[in-house]
């Protein structure tokens, strides 16, 4: 039996809506006690395009998580991405009155760094401190208690379109959940995938989702750049569907079961049978054709990332290389191709193991939702378990729980 202290992460993605419930045990360790993972029907490229369908997907996911955990979900940390996200670095300076720096000075300098002109239809989602400077001493992580007369801060600012942020919040609230905090998805994924050493050393986290690829660049333990690239796993699927003249469902099957982005990795003469469009015959397709189609899209995606690294002068900062995560990172050969194109060590990043549903959750597609849990834990977004509803659920919980678990396992294996 846990302590009743609960944190919830809700990842409203383009292909899936995933809710995860964590509970602290009596040793103060967070354990995953339930999850819901349902298809997402109302988003395109990371943004809500259909409120009703999104609300319904969120409700189904919450219901599944509730059945498994026995917890009625009232609030959650949510992730945000989409092509509307725009990030940049800024700085601020204030004079220090008391000579010893206190929290109030830090708050003031962060406010000063935030005072940049942004279009009226955008709002600031994050102001992430990178380093402070007290008089002439640079590279300070926490200036509180230090003496000086001038406090400077360098920050990373993430902004998003107000209407699109509001649409997401509206959907979550219509599903009966209060939004505790909004976290940029690649920052959330970083929290579950990257080690402190990697963040110090300098890495590019690339979360390849269904609709978008979300990037966060870390150095010296801080985010120094973030971006959302409008290419995701769905584009790979679409390309296959168009090139092979097959349905999206069939293209998704071929991609996940046989997809590879490197022709050299596969037997060039090997063929697979693909189901044609309705009314058409099944056909045999050479694996090298599939690798060509998927490889071109992967090349385009990695070239954009490489150009971003050059354009933002990040080359010298990312000693630790590239870490690919998100469901889209599972296409065979992506790691090798990324390493070749970007010319940096590249690996697939799996989320860290919490207690509880460890094995099931260690899939890169759950990096964001587990990062949201980690962020909620860090920012103390803990709520008390609502015991009033648990009683009703215990009646049929075991049967429903096993069904819920079965669907999760079916998807994994």
Ligand X SMILES: Nc1ncnc2c1ncn2[C@@H]1O[C@H](COP(=O)(O)OP(=O)(O)OP(=O)(O)O)[C@@H](O)[C@H]1O
Segment lying near ligand X (by CB under 6 A), choices 116-124, 162-170, 233-241, 391-399 = 233-241
Instruction: Evaluate the CA torsion angle 254, 257, 262, 266 in order and state its sign.
Output: negative
Residue ranges in 351-380 that form contacts with Mg ion under rule CB under 5 A: 368
Q: Which residue from 52, 89, 70 is spatially nearest to 1, judged by alpha carbons?
A: 70
Rounded-to-5 percentages of helix, strand, coil across the chain: 40, 30, 30
Q: Does 15 bind ligand X (CB under 6 A)?
A: yes
Query: What minimum distance in Å lies between the beta carbon of 189 and Mg ion?
Result: 8
Q: Does 46 bind Mg ion (CB under 5 A)?
A: no
260, β-bridge pairs: 332
**Partner whose binding site includes residue 34, from ligand X, Mg ion, none (CB under 5 to 8 Å by kind):** none
Indicate the burial class of 273 (C-beta count within 10 angstroms; 0-12, 13-18, 19 or more): exposed
Residue ranges in 236-295 that form contacts with ligand X under rule CB under 6 A: 237, 252, 255-256, 259
**Partner whose binding site includes residue 186, from Mg ion, ligand X, none (CB under 5 to 8 Å by kind):** none
Q: Does 351 bind ligand X (CB under 6 A)?
A: no
**Partner whose binding site includes residue 232, from Mg ion, ligand X, none (CB under 5 to 8 Å by kind):** ligand X
Query: What minimum distance in Å lies between the beta carbon of 237 and ligand X?
Result: 6
Q: Does 232 bind Mg ion (CB under 5 A)?
A: no
Long-range contacts of 93-100 (CB under 8 A, 24+ apart): 93/150, 93/151, 93/152, 93/153, 94/150, 94/151, 95/149, 95/150, 95/151, 96/134, 96/148, 96/149, 96/150, 96/151, 99/147, 99/148, 99/149, 100/145, 100/146, 100/147
* DSSP H or E segment with residue 51: helix 51-69
Q: Does 330 bind ligand X (CB under 6 A)?
A: yes
Which of residues 57 and 404 has its CB atom nearest to ligand X in the complex? 57
Which of residues 320 and 328 has its CB atom nearest to ligand X in the complex? 328
- Whole-angstrom CA distances from 128 to 220, 226, 250, 354 are 13, 11, 43, 25
Task: Name the phi and psi angles at 304, rounded to 5.
Answer: -60, -40
Tell me, by CB under 6 A, how many residues bind ligand X: 25
Taking CB under 6 A as the criterion, the residue among 36, 202, 210, 295 binding ligand X is 210
CA distance 387 to 215: 39
**Partner whose binding site includes residue 210, from ligand X, Mg ion, none (CB under 5 to 8 Å by kind):** ligand X
**Binding map of Mg ion across residues 5-24, x = CB under 5 A, - = no contact:** --------x-----------
CB atoms within 10 A of CB 239: 18
> Where are the extended beta strands (E) located within 230-292?
271-274, 283-286
Q: Does 211 bind Mg ion (CB under 5 A)?
A: no
CA distance 225 to 379: 22
Segment lying near ligand X (by CB under 6 A), choices 19-27, 205-213, 239-247, 279-287 = 205-213
**Partner whose binding site includes residue 327, from Mg ion, ligand X, none (CB under 5 to 8 Å by kind):** ligand X
Residue ranges in 132-171 that form contacts with ligand X under rule CB under 6 A: none
Instruction: Evaluate the CA torsion angle 408, 40, 182, 175 in order and state its sign.
Output: negative
Q: Does 14 bind ligand X (CB under 6 A)?
A: yes
Taking CB under 5 A as the criterion, the residue among 70, 209, 349, 351 binding Mg ion is 209
Which stretches of the chain bind ligand X, using CB under 6 A? 13-16, 40, 46, 81, 209-212, 232-234, 237, 252, 255-256, 259, 326-328, 330-331, 365
Residues that bind Mg ion (CB under 5 A): 13, 209, 368
């Amino acid at each position: 039996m846990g302590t009743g202290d609960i944190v919830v992460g809700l990842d409203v993605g383009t292909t899936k809506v995933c809710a995860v419930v964590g509970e602290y045990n009596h040793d103060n360790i967070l354990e995953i006690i339930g999850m819901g993972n349902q298809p997402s029907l109302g988003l395109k490229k990371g943004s809500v395009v259909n409120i009703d369908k999104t609300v319904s997907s969120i409700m189904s996911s919450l219901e599944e998580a509730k059945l498994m955990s026995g917890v009625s979900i009232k609030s959650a940390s949510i992730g945000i991405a989409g092509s509307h996200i725009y990030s940049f670095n800024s700085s601020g300076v204030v004079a220090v009155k008391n000579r010893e720096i206190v929290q109030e000075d830090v708050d003031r300098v962060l406010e000063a760094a935030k005072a940049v002109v942004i279009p009226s239809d955008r709002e600031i989602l994050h102001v992430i401190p990178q380093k402070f400077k007290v008089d002439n001493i640079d590279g300070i992580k926490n200036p509180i208690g230090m003496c000086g007369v001038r406090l400077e801060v360098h920050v990373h600012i993430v902004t998003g379109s107000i209407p699109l942020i509001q649409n997401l919040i509206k959907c979550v609230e219509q599903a009966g959940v209060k939004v505790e905090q909004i976290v940029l998805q690649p920052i959330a994924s970083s929290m579950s995938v990257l080690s402190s050493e990697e963040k110090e050393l300098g890495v590019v986290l690339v979360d390849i989702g269904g609709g978008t690829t979300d990037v966060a660049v870390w150095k010296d333990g801080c985010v120094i750049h973030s971006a959302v690239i409008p290419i995701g796993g769905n584009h790979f699927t679409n390309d296959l569907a168009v090139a092979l003249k097959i349905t999206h469902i069939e293209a998704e099957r071929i991609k996940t079961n046989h997809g590879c982005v490197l022709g050299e990795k596969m037997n060039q003469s090997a063929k697979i049978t693909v189901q044609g469009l309705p009314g058409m015959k099944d056909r045999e397709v050479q694996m090298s054709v599939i690798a060509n189609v998927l490889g071109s899209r992967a090349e385009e995606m990695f070239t954009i990332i490489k150009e971003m690294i050059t354009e933002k002068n990040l080359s010298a900062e990312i000693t630790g290389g590239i870490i690919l995560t998100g469901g889209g990172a599972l296409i065979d050969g992506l790691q090798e191709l990324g390493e070749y194109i970007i010319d940096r060590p590249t690996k697939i990043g799996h989320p860290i193991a919490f207690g509880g549903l460890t094995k099931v959750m260690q899939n890169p597609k759950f990096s964001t939702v587990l990062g949201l849990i980690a962020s909620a834990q860090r920012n103390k977004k803990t709520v008390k378990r609502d015991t009033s509803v648990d009683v009703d659920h215990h009646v049929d919980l075991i049967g429903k729980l096993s069904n819920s678990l079965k669907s999760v396992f079916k998807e994994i294996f």
